[in-house]
Amino acid sequence: MALLEIENLTVEFDTVTGRFRALDNVSYSIEVGEVLAIVGESGSGKSVAMLAVMGLLASNGHIQADRVEFEGMDLLNMSRRKRRKVIGKDISMIFQEPIASLNPCFTVGFQIEETLKEHTSLDRKQRKARAIELLNSVGMPEPEKTLKKFPHQMSGGQCQRVMIAMAIACEPKLLIADEPTTALDVTIQKQILDLLMDLQAKSGMGLIMITHDMGVVAETADRVVVQYKGKKMEEADVLSLFENPQNPYTKALLSALPENATGDRLPTVSDYHMNGEGAA
């Protein structure tokens, strides 16, 4: 049984100009211990599916699906209370802007321990010990001191480590990382990616990497889903995707990488005929 299974998921938003379909009949699944990359450009709907799974869509969002199941449990028709037991514990998520996703008014220690308080039966002392252990495992120097720090006292990379510590606090079975390194410098990006891969290998959790960066895909994924304008274009294991992309959009995306440039000019997506789809 797959860890998370999505079948024909459609997400629409009510807007002033009518309903906008952000995600159109998308299906994929992730197995235990697998790293799945979802790649696409802005507006491809790559985050929307995961926000729907997490129940984080804005109130004007509408979800339709044949199936959204986590370990065989129907996530869409679950009661809110039951869902809160799963979300944040068995499924957790980290976001692009580490500094913005932490609460500026509370210390790092408070925010990590809050997760533990909600989902575990640890007492205060144990929670503190666990928080220190977590900060250690994400490679923060001086974890005891870090507990007392506020987000603005730390760098972006450090904040992202804290976010990861919070996300893995309850040993999730599935971690969703939404552009986890986009706001970071390359050397810090490498540290964070190494950390995520290391944690994933040790714990055997499923990891969904949402990204627009083909380099990040190449460095992390087992399997890749390519999305464009809300539709799934292609799904393949990482090697076949880069070696032998099937879909014209994937081909276009790969050839737009500056390192793949052959002549003086970079091919752009509009150079490829997208079966009447048109390009952005």
Partner 1 sequence: MAEDIILEARDLVREYRSKEGMFGKVNVTRALKGISFKLERGKTLAVVGESGCGKSTLARILTLIDPATDGDLLIEGKKIDIAKQKITPDLRSKVQIVFQNPYGSLNPRQRIGDVLTEPLMLNTDLPAQERRDKAMEMLVKVGLGPEHFNRYPHMFSGGQRQRVAIARALMLNPKLLILDEPVSALDLSVQAQILNLLADLQEEFNLTYLFISHDLSVVRYIADKVMVMYFGEVVEYGTRDEVFDNPQHEYTKTLFNATPRADIAHIKERLARTG
Pick out residues in 174-203 that bind partner 1 (CB under 8 A).
185-190, 193, 197, 201
Tell me the closest approach of the beta carbon of residue 199 to partner 1, in angstroms.
14
Region from 47-55, 118-126, 166-174, 249-257 binding partner 1, contact rule CB under 8 A? 249-257
Kindly give the interhelix angle for 156-167 and 108-119, rounded to the nearest 10 degrees: 10
With respect to partner 1, which residue has the nearer C-beta, 94 or 131?
94
Contacts of 216 by beta carbon, 8 Å cutoff, 6+ apart = 37, 181, 189, 193, 209
The yes or no reply on residue 214 touching partner 1 (CB under 8 A) is: yes
With respect to partner 1, which residue has the nearer C-beta, 80 or 152?
152
Q: 221 burial class (0-12, 13-18, 19+ CB within 10 angstroms)?
A: buried
Alpha helices, H only, 1-123 = 48-54, 80-86, 98-101, 108-119
* Interacting residue with partner 1 among 7, 114, 213, 277 (CB under 8 A): 213
Binders of partner 1: how many residues, by CB under 8 A?
41
* Interacting residue with partner 1 among 1, 15, 17, 42 (CB under 8 A): 42
Distance between CA atoms of 102 and 150, rounded to whole angstroms? 9
Binding site for partner 1 (CB under 8 A): 41-42, 185-190, 193, 197, 201, 212-219, 238-239, 242-243, 252-254, 256-261, 264-270, 279-280
